[in-house]
Amino acid sequence: MSSFVDHLLGLLADFAPVRAKRMFGGHGLFIDELMIAIVIDDVLYLKVDDDNRERFVERGLAPFEYEARGRRVSLSYYRAPEELFDEAEIAIEWARSAFEAALRSRAAPKPRAARKVAAKKIAPRKVAKQPTKKR
């Protein structure tokens, strides 16, 4: 684990038992089974939803995005503000917001993914030959 991730876990220790799990070429930060943050290249991104996203946008904090199959993909995580890294109280405030977003996301009904309808395989029926009409 990186010293940056260790620092984050220390900042959040008074909030909840946060654990780091290697993923995405970085780390996911979890409380229980809920991912509240992503750390990629020593950059922290916090979970957002419709209730807390504006707070990030107003401060000009960018979403976590990556390139996949020639297009930009954006996840529901935004870059954390710099002052979060200096004070545990501020870190906890932002982590609480991310945790609450994760809780709301878990409780919200998931939109159904577009399903590909598989063509039904029907055995061809044996069709009796129709007698040809003679003219």
Asked if residue 120 has pLDDT above 80, the reply is: no
Going by pLDDT thresholds of 50, 70 and 90, the confidence category of residue 131 is low
46-69 pLDDT per residue, tens: 999 999 999 999 999 999 999 989
3-state secondary structure of 16: coil
Residue 36 and residue 30 in contact, taking contact as beta carbons nearer than 8 Å: yes
Give dist(CA 94, CA 70) in Å, integer.
33
**Total domain count for the chain?**
1
Residue 37 and residue 94 in contact, taking contact as beta carbons nearer than 8 Å: no
Nearest residue to 47 via CA among 59, 58, 31: 31
- Do the domain assignments include residue 43? yes
Q: What is the CATH number of the domain that holds 22?
A: 3.30.1460.30
1-52 pLDDT per residue, tens: 789 999 999 999 999 999 999 997 899 999 999 999 999 999 999 999 999 9
